[in-house]
Amino acid sequence: MRVLGGPLPRMLELVAQEVRGAGEVLEVAAGTGLVTTAIAPVVGSVVATDYAGAMVRLLRGRVQADGLGNVECIERDVYALGMPPRSFDAVVCANVLHLLPELEAALRALRAVLRPGGTLVAPTYAHDETRTSRLVSRVLGATGFPGARRFTAASLSAAISAAGFEVRRTEMIPGLIPVAFVAATAP
């Protein structure tokens, strides 16, 4: 599977490693379920959310087709999750933080639903990491790509730390636009 230079397979592998054995996992911006289907077999349960009803319908279809009985698919906005505080062992937000105009509010919402010591897994396209990724990102922007910010691995880690998480892992996954893989722990 090749997506923007090929970081997706490694990203899915790392996400699954980070959440393996977690009881209850929240995935925000689940889209069509690529990450959902990678993590569901290695965790107790997944609540997979997306703000777009059409995406949630596609996600449900994929979950049913794959026979994943431990996944609940619901329409939710990252800023208004409507979940009880401290209700998840892990939160996954893959390839979405660069799209969010209110990053700090989103990270606060994610931190609020994590149990103390819970894991945040936030692989995110690092549009500003290399000269090539900056150029590709600018071209995408000129064609209407909705990115709200252009991260480097360092700036993504700093934003997550500033939201009160302890960043414990940062890894760059090479690609035309590389992915900054960040895993952090909630206080």
Residue 70 lies in a domain: yes
The answer to whether position 169 is within a domain reads yes
pLDDT of residue 16: 98
Please write the tens of the pLDDT for every residue from 66-103. 999 999 999 999 999 999 999 999 999 999 998 899 99
Give the C-alpha distances (Å, rounded to integers) separating 143 from 31, 130, 168, 175. Answer: 21, 20, 36, 20
Q: Provide the domain limits for residue 127.
A: 8-185
Per-residue pLDDT at 128 = 67
Q: What is the pTM of this model?
A: 0.91
pLDDT lower than 50: segments of the chain: 1-5
Over the range 126-142, which residues count as b (16 or more CB within 10 Å of their CB) and which as e?
bbbbbeebbebbeebee
171 falls within a domain: yes
At 162 the pLDDT is 98
Q: What is the structure's pLDDT at 151?
A: 84
- The verdict on residue 150 lying in a domain is yes
For residue 3, is it within any domain? no
* Residue 18 in domain: yes
Q: Supply the CATH number for residue 91's domain.
A: 3.40.50.150
Nearest alpha-carbon partner for 115 in 90, 94, 92? 90
- 82 within a domain of the structure (yes/no): yes
Instruction: Give the chain's domain count.
Output: 1
Is 2 contained in some domain?
Answer: no
